[in-house]
Amino acid sequence: MAFSPRSVAVEAVLSAGQLLRERLGRVGEIRFKGAVNLVTEADVASERLILERIRSAFPEHAVLSEEVGASEGATGSRYLWVVDPLDGTTNFAHGYPQFAVSIAFVIDGVTELGVVYQPVTDELFLAQRGAGAFRNGHRIRVSDEDTLLMALLATGFPYDLERRKHALRHFAQFTTLARAIRRDGSAGLDLCAVAAGRFDGFWEPDLAPWDTAAGALIVREAGGTVTDYTGSPLTLESVSCVASNGKLHQAMLDVLHAD
Ligand code: 2AM
Ligand code: CA
């Protein structure tokens, strides 16, 4: 094979990240997917660039990407690329420099490779299954914190305004039980921050596979735990997500189950 999935994924996130960096602050036309859910021209341009790279290297592989959905014609493939061309679109559209490009490579339903790139800080998070997690080539590990009261946690809210009301209950509970909560707007980067030990845990109720596939592998390879709200291991079908250093996982699930 001429290209490795790893080299294609890394090259694609770096190129897409450069495109996003250049467009930050001049966002162009914004469309709405829901009442508050945005898609910018940059989402679409980044996606086009990434899918071209993947398709020219691996034309027989299937692709699942946020703006175009599932690829046609490759549905029988064992190989699947899961792509978020811009994770943190709302931040990007407002000029808040916290967003990422996320690509996962999945074989027979198992994520083998995850790459998340933050173009503004030039941080590349990468994990291959069984081979550890890295930030710009340096090994990363989750934190050692085992006391919720000492923990820095992160979360995000759904686009659906009605479902936000429910999410607020969990937010209120964690606010009284943890040191502090951050809500930074990119689930992929929140997961990488757990992997790097910056955050001790993360929870979010409504996510899609492209938000979590790469980041979940990066957390696991950094020694952490990633499940849905029931405590089952996160899969591409999961909607809710809890990620932690492992030591805080049960305590976080207990809070989410308290209502
Ligand atoms: P996006 O920027 O790619 O749309 C913000 O809370 C984080 O969660 C972002 O990563 C955002 O992804 C994602 N997100 C928020 N609500 C979502 C929903 N209802 N479905 C899928 N992803 C969502
Ligand atoms: Ca996105």
Q: Over the stretch 24-66, which tens digit does the pLDDT of each residue have?
A: 987 677 788 777 677 788 999 999 999 999 999 999 999 999 9
Considering every ligand atom, which ligand is closest to the CA of 35?
1
**Structure token digits, residue 244:** 């932690």
Q: Is 163's pLDDT higher than 90?
A: no
Q: Is 85 in the pocket of ligand 1 (CB under 6 A)?
A: no
Tokens 């398709």 — which residue? 55
- Ligand in closest contact with the CA of 38: 1
Tens digit of each residue's pLDDT (9 = 90 or more) over 182-196: 999 999 999 999 999
Overall average pLDDT of the 249-259 stretch:
94
- Model confidence at 18, pLDDT cuts 50, 70, 90, reads very high
Q: 203-231: per-residue pLDDT in tens?
A: 999 999 999 999 999 999 999 999 999 99
Q: What is the pLDDT of residue 183?
A: 97
- Cβ of 159 closer than 6 Å to ligand 1, yes or no, is yes
Task: Determine whether the shortest distance from the Cβ of 158 to ligand 1 is under 6 A.
Answer: yes
pLDDT of residue 38: 72
Neighbours of 56 (CB within 10 A): 10
Considering Cα of 102, then 103, then 106, then 111, what sign does the dihedral take? negative
Q: Which region holds residue 227: left if phi is over 0, alpha if psi is between -120 and 50, else beta?
A: beta
Mean pLDDT of the chain: 94
In this prediction, residue 3 carries a pLDDT of 85
What is the bridge-based pairing of β-strands 201-204 and 69-70? unpaired
- For residue 44 and ligand 1, the question of a CB distance below 6 A is answered with no
Q: How far is the centre of ligand 1, averaged over its atoms, from the C-alpha of 84 (Å)?
A: 10
Atom of ligand 1 nearest to the CA of 211: 10
Residue nearest to atom 8 of ligand 1 (CA): 187
* Nearest alpha carbon, ligand 1 atom 14: 207
Query: Which residues, at least 6 apart from 137, have a Cβ–Cβ distance to it below 8 Å?
Result: none
C-beta of 208 in contact with ligand 1 (< 6 A): yes
> Whole-model pTM?
0.95
Mean pLDDT score, 109-122: 98
pLDDT value of residue 249: 98
Confidence bin at 259 (pLDDT 50/70/90): low
- Kind of pairing between the strands at 180-182 and 152-155: parallel
Residue 160 C-alpha to ligand 1 middle, in angstroms?
10
- Whether the CB-CB separation of 154 and 184 falls below 8 Å is answered with yes
